[in-house]
Chains A and B, each alone.
Chain A
Amino acid sequence: MIRKNRIFMKFAKRWLASVMLVVAFTLTAAGPVGCASRLEPGGAYALEGQAPDKAFYAVEASFDLATSVVHTAFEFERSNRLMLWRISPDIKHGLDKLRPVAKQVVKEYGVAREAYLANPTPAGLSTMKTVLGRLQQTASAAQAVLPKE
């Protein structure tokens, strides 16, 4: 059992290091997408006859990645629940605090997104960025709850 735990923790540490890097990139990604890249015409964010909306795509791509980080943390804990519970009940309890927050944030993002699609204004995009920031904080918090040693 001790050996199994050690092997598991080795894997978990590698996993965490990777997620940490993804989160760090997610936190800073909105800028580089907007500045360095261009959108191929015909895509969902560069519809024919309209100017490509790079800023919107940047927020969406960052949200997509942040959602994946949160989802992966939740799935990882759920799939390894008994093992992690034996290490510390605080891991599940910590993520349990974040689960309703993440759900709420995704719902709020949906509302903000719908509003932006109906009326694409800088203020609408700013609201989406604010919600994105909350999801990124949730992703960081989820990562902090998972074991490091």
Chain B
Amino acid sequence: MPPIAILVLNGLTAALTAAPQITELVVKAKDFFASLAGNGLITAEQQDQVDARIDQIVEAAKQGRLPASWDVEPDPE
């Protein structure tokens, strides 16, 4: 794995303490960089996971079911 990828992963891991919300992002980023810099093989499982996640989000967008954080909500008082 190239040094820059290790640097990125270290930064992401450190940031775990800052915001639990980024856990999912870190996992995806790790998968992503592993597929870039590992043995060069993107496994069938990794492919299926990407495909399933994209299916899920485009379907949610189509049906107006994206997470609440994507909605514009009233300003706090």
Contact = CB atoms under 8 A, between A and B. Distances in A.
A23 to B, nearest CB: 11
B67 A71 contact: yes
Given A15-B18, A82-B76, A96-B72, A36 B57 contact: no
Interface string A74-96: 11111111100100010011001
B53 to A, nearest CB: 5
Contacts of A55: none
A43 B21 contact: no
- Sort chain A's interface into a size bin: 35 or more
Contact of B21 (A63, A65, A76): A76
A106 B61 contact: yes
- Sort chain B's interface into a size bin: 35 or more
Contacts, number: 167
B1 interface: no
Contact of B43 (A43, A79, A103, A106): A43
A96 B76 CA distance: 13
Nearest to A33: B36
A145 interface: no
Given A14-B14, A14-B15, A107-B62, A42 B44 contact: yes
A67 B66 CA distance: 12
Interface of A: 11-12, 14-15, 17-19, 21-22, 25, 29, 32-33, 36-46, 57, 60-61, 63-65, 67-69, 71-72, 74-82, 85, 89, 92-93, 96, 99-100, 102-103, 106-107, 109-110, 113
25 contacts: A11-B17, A11-B18, A12-B18, A15-B19, A18-B11, A18-B22, A22-B12, A25-B32, A36-B37, A36-B40, A38-B40, A44-B47, A57-B42, A61-B35, A71-B67, A74-B69, A75-B67, A75-B69, A77-B69, A78-B69, A78-B73, A79-B19, A96-B72, A100-B72, A106-B66
